[in-house]
Amino acid sequence: MESFRRRAVVVSTILGFGITRLLTSLVFMFRARGRNRLDWLPLVCAATIFVQTLLFWWTLGRLGAQVPQWTFAKFLFLVIQVMALFLASTLIMPTSEAEEGASLRACFDGDGR
């Protein structure tokens, strides 16, 4: 169990970065709401990824008891899953404030799918 806690720190850090990225993007969208067109689809997808990330983080605590022997392959599989959530968090919303008149849907169509 102790060895899993050390591994969980790596996984939790990546999950935390993903959540931070989503929240930062939402702040950018909120600030630009008067200049840019918002769209419901990217916001719903971002909320879904946020909830999935929180649920993954929540169930991470039980994973240490369910896997008695951790190998590098098992840990790598776990990190790949977490990296997929992080990439989804990163690509779903723009990384900075968009230009005047830009559409959130256009950013989503370009990178978010």
Q: How far apart, in whole angstroms, are the C-alpha atoms of residue 56 and residue 95? A: 23
Other Cβ atoms less than 10 A from the Cβ of 13: the count is 11
pLDDT tens by residue, the chain, 113 residues: 567 778 888 899 999 999 999 999 888 888 877 777 777 888 888 899 999 999 999 988 888 778 888 889 988 999 999 999 999 888 887 766 555 556 666 666 666 55
Handedness of CA 92, 93, 99, 104 (dihedral sign): positive
**Taking the domains of the chain in order of start, what are their residue ranges?**
2-112
